[in-house]
């Protein structure tokens, strides 16, 4: 049965008060596979009006909720056909603006057209001149390596590095080490080394493809990103698998549940985590290859691994998005339209207020990276809440995920929206941290990472810098 987000904010929807099959913020659809979302535009932003199964609409070809405006652009409506897709809309303010239909007399048109034509001509000449200059520079560089290729490199350099196709017969599966919503992860052996093998059932092929695509981007090798060895297909049931570096401590969640840390080891976890995210977000050009920025979009302590040397590595890129860089706007368009991951939402507790409210423009690169930084702030809090040096007498609270203390383990979308978004609450920072030498710097870093205003948040790169300065100014 289709699962749709259920939320009614307007008292005008009396007839939906008796909506069936509602459990918290989820509705199971009986006679439709379509979810619907009604949004109202307030202060230029869409706010949820009504989300539910769409008992009227029987046709919803899109997997994502692309909005169409109604009533002079005051309302938006979207229908879609994937689980929980109706809380995440695709909305472009410009496209919602009513068309302007002014008419000008011919003389007015001429008056405007002449200066415009002059400006365009000057711009055209400048573009040609710049292109010629860069072509000349490129030619000079290329001459050293290849004398007969003078063509400009393609502006679309979302290249991939073809990964080795691994024969399943060459892998020895040992025990299961993790079970996500989609995959089963095994410890295994490949070419004499211990590896992790993530197996996704054939039904989850789109997830597998997204994840493979991210791992296969150029320059994805980094100490903060789990090392990728290749992919393959199991011949018996056609399930897909990804072979990865084995992280000895498993997920950050299970590490923190079992271990407390010292101040220095907590910093090591935090720094490697922030460095991994900063690298993932980076737009890199090196030796003619390009790594575009990538938003993880499902950061949680279950999607961060801890290696034997006590550092974090990012994993699970099944919801990630390759973003357009400013210099290559044309590039990666096909990737950014892959919004299926967002339709499936991330992990509830780590969703930023703007994602919880479904009021983001998913085409904006910044929004997705800012949402990652919000989750990063929560992860830093989670790590420091298990640091014995930050608790008097070394008595550390047991590991809890964000908002577990306040809202319980089985948190609902509704309760999070109210607690995090409407009331602007965050996980509580122990009062006594104020008395510690690094306390106020930690507090400031957390607050600047999980700010309710996405634009006010630090970038992942700034988080790395802040951690470095915290370390240099205070070593317990």
Ligand X SMILES: Nc1ncnc2c1ncn2[C@@H]1O[C@H](COP(=O)(O)OP(=O)(O)OP(=O)(O)O)[C@@H](O)[C@H]1O
- Find the shortest distance in angstroms from Cβ 260 to ligand X: 19
- Find the shortest distance in angstroms from Cβ 246 to ligand X: 5
The DSSP code for 225 is B
Q: For residues 375 and 414, give the distance between their C-alpha atoms in angstroms, rounded to a whole number.
A: 19
What sign does the dihedral 356-357-363-367 (CA atoms) show?
A: negative
Please, which residue, 316 or 451, has the CB nearer to ligand X?
316
Q: Distance between alpha carbon 35 and the CA centroid of its chain, in Å?
A: 23
Please, which residue, 50 or 246, has the CB nearer to ligand X?
246
Please, which residue, 106 or 308, has the CB nearer to ligand X?
308
Please, which residue, 305 or 312, has the CB nearer to ligand X?
305
Provide the pairing of β-strand 240-245 with 228-233.
antiparallel
- Find the shortest distance in angstroms from Cβ 343 to ligand X: 14
- Find the shortest distance in angstroms from Cβ 251 to ligand X: 4
Q: For residues 395 and 71, give the distance between their C-alpha atoms in angstroms, rounded to a whole number.
A: 59
Q: Alpha helix (H) ranges present in 191-320?
A: 205-215, 252-258, 263-281
**253 contacts 273 by C-beta, under 8 angstroms:** no
Rg (CA), the chain: 25
Please, which residue, 251 or 260, has the CB nearer to ligand X?
251
Please, which residue, 78 or 252, has the CB nearer to ligand X?
252
- Find the shortest distance in angstroms from Cβ 109 to ligand X: 56
**226 contacts 314 by C-beta, under 8 angstroms:** yes
Give contact residues for ligand X (rule: CB under 6 A).
177-178, 180-183, 185, 196, 198, 226, 244-247, 250-251, 302-303, 305, 315-316, 318
How many Å from the N-terminal Cα to the C-terminal Cα in the chain?
54
Please, which residue, 84 or 244, has the CB nearer to ligand X?
244
- Find the shortest distance in angstroms from Cβ 272 to ligand X: 15
- Find the shortest distance in angstroms from Cβ 345 to ligand X: 11
Closest among 400, 358, 407 to 381, alpha carbons compared: 400
- Find the shortest distance in angstroms from Cβ 175 to ligand X: 11
CA 202 vs CA 233, 342, 471: distances in Å: 9, 20, 46
The DSSP code for 420 is I
Q: For residues 143 and 145, give the distance between their C-alpha atoms in angstroms, rounded to a whole number.
A: 6
Query: Is 268 annotated among the ligand-binding residues?
Result: no
Question: Within 13 Å, how many C-alpha atoms sit on residue 188's CB side?
Answer: 22
Please, which residue, 29 or 247, has the CB nearer to ligand X?
247
Checking 168-171 for CB contacts under 8 A at 24+ apart, the result is: 168/232, 168/233, 168/234, 168/235, 168/241, 171/195, 171/197, 171/232, 171/241, 171/243
List binding-site positions for ATP.
198
Which parts are annotated binding residues? 198
């Amino acid at each position: 049965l289709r699962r749709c987000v259920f939320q009614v904010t307007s008292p005008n929807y009396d007839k939906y008060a008796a909506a069936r099959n509602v459990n918290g913020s989820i509705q199971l659809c009986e006679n439709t596979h379509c979810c619907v979302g009604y949004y109202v535009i307030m202060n230029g932003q869409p706010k949820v009006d009504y989300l539910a199964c769409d008992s009227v609409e029987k046709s919803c070809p899109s997997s994502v909720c692309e909005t169409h405006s109604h009533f002079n652009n005051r309302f938006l409506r979207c229908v879609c056909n994937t689980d929980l897709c109706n809380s995440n809309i695709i909305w472009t303010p410009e496209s919602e603006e009513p068309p302007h239909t002014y008419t000008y007399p011919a003389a007015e048109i001429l008056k405007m057209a002449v200066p415009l034509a002059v400006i365009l001509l000057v711009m055209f000449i400048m573009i040609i001149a710049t292109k010629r200059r860069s072509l000349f520079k490129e030619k000079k560089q290329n001459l050293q390596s290849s004398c007969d290729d003078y063509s400009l490199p393609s502006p679309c350099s979302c290249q991939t590095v073809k990964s080795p196709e691994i024969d399943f017969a060459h892998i020895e599966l040992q025990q299961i080490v993790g079970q996500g919503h989609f995959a089963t992860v095994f410890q295994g052996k490949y070419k004499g080394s211990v590896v992790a093998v993530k197996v996704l059932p054939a039904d989850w092929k789109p997830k597998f493809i997204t994840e493979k695509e991210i791992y296969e981007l150029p320059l994805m090798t980094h100490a903060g990103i789990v090392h990728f060895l290749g992919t393959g297909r199991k011949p018996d049931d056609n399930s897909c698998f990804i072979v990865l570096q084995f992280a000895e401590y498993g997920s950050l969640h299970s590490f923190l549940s079992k271990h407390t840390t010292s101040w220095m080891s907590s910093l090591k976890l935090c720094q490697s985590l922030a460095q991994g995210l900063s690298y993932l977000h980076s737009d890199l050009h090196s030796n003619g290859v390009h790594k575009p920025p990538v938003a993880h979009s499902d950061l949680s302590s279950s999607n961060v691994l801890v290696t034997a040397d006590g550092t974090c590595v990012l994993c699970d890129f099944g919801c990630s998005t390759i973003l357009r860089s400013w210099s290559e706007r044309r590039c990666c368009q096909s990737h950014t339209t892959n919004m299926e991951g967002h339709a499936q939402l991330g992990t509830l507790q780590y969703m930023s207020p703007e994602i919880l409210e479904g009021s983001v423009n998913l085409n904006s690169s910044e929004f997705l990276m800012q949402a990652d930084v919000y989750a990063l702030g929560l992860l830093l809090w989670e790590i420091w809440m298990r640091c014995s040096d930050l608790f008097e007498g070394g008595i550390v609270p047991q590991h809890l995920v964000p908002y577990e203390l306040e809202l319980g383990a089985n948190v609902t979308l509704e309760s999070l929206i109210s607690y995090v978004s409407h009331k602007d609450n965050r996980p509580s920072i122990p009062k006594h941290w104020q008395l510690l030498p690094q306390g106020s710097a930690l507090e400031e870093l957390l607050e600047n990472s999980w700010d309710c205003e996405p634009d006010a948040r630090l970038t992942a790169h700034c988080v790395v810098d802040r951690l470095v300065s915290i370390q240099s100014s205070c070593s317990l």
